[in-house]
């Protein structure tokens, strides 16, 4: 038995019943889930994913609406630039791929906002291809089980992709199953703090466990603070704009935060990121909500 075999056996018995894992889920549904799950817990993503797929079951459905609607539907998932990227990717799929999510990895990676992880995840989980799919959870599992280290580095490297590829079965469908199994192990058992090693199928062979589960050397990564940050102010500003379809004067936005400098910086960041559009008269709207300018009659 290999690590992949053990992971698949465990996954078949213990996997969470998530809607984007259902056999009838489209490649578009998989892509939406992967983008939403970046930096957002499953418990918050699941209802948002269901609402999104009900409204926009295909890329063409989303592409036909302005990006402002994607930002509104994104709600409070956080990091709303992901909504803009999904909208841009949908537009690109309509223009380049007849409104379909491409199965070719290079074509996936060429879509706006689709990076190394997301492209491989869609090719693997939606199309059953053999690619190393490496996120934080997978890197931690491989680092512990194979390398005997307590955790992996802060970002995915080419070496991480190679290490994961070496663990995958040759048969594509089984390799895809192994990829999601490793990911689930990292999410449920091989967690960063208080790992549930006695429940892990790798316990007997895990290099980290056999080395005595040594602790990390050096400073630990602290959770990101939210309260009082520009992220919080950006969220408050977007919350006002999401509930309006017309121009919102700056004076109204000024009410959401009393630090003038920080509020102005957050608003400028939203404009720079393309989430918000400034209008004449010192007013603002979500991207795509700007009123059309009628040509003057001669």
Partners of 250 in the beta sheet?
Answer: none
183 within 8 A of 192, measured Cβ to Cβ: no
Question: In this structure, what token pair is assigned to residue 175?
Answer: 């390799």
Of 70, 72, 60, 129, give the one whose Cα is nearest residue 101.
Answer: 60
> Could you give the CA distance from residue 64 to residue 55 in angstroms, rounded to a whole number?
12
> Could you give the CA distance from residue 50 to residue 1 in angstroms, rounded to a whole number?
38
Question: In this structure, what token pair is assigned to residue 209?
Answer: 């466990």
> Could you give the CA distance from residue 22 to residue 13 in angstroms, rounded to a whole number?
15
Partners of 278 in the beta sheet?
Answer: 284
Annotated catalytic residue within 34, 69, 184, 277: 34
Say whether 34 is catalytic: yes
Active site residues: 34
């Amino acid at each position: 038995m290999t690590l992949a075999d053990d992971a698949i056996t465990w996954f078949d018995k213990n996997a969470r019943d998530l809607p984007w894992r259902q056999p009838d889920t489209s490649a578009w549904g998989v892509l939406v889930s992967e983008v939403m799950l970046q930096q957002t817990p499953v418990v918050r993503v699941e209802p948002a994913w269901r609402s999104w797929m009900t409204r926009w079951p295909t890329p063409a459905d989303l592409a036909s609406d302005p990006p402002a609607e994607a930002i509104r539907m994104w709600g409070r998932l956080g990091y709303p630039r992901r909504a803009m990227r999904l909208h841009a990717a949908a537009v690109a799929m309509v223009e380049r791929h007849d409104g379909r999510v491409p199965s070719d990895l290079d074509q996936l990676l060429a879509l706006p906002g689709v990076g190394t992880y997301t492209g491989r995840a869609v090719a693997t989980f939606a199309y059953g291809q053999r690619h190393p799919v490496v996120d934080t959870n997978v890197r931690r599992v491989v680092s512990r089980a194979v390398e005997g280290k307590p955790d992996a580095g802060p970002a995915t490297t080419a070496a991480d992709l190679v290490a994961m590829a070496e663990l995958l079965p040759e048969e594509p469908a089984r390799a895809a199953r192994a990829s999601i199994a490793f990911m689930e192990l990292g999410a449920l058992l091989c967690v960063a703090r208080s790992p549930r090693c006695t429940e892990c199928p790798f316990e007997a062979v895990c290099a980290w466990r056999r080395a005595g589960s040594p602790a990390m050397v050096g400073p630990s990564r602290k959770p990101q603070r939210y309260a009082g940050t520009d992220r919080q102010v950006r969220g408050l500003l977007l919350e006002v704009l999401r509930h309006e379809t017309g121009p919102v004067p700056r004076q109204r936005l000024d009410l959401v935060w009393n630090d003038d400098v920080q509020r102005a910086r957050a608003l400028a960041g939203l404009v720079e990121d393309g989430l918000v559009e400034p209008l004449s008269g010192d007013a603002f709207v979500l991207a795509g909500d700007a009123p059309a300018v009628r040509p003057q009659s001669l």
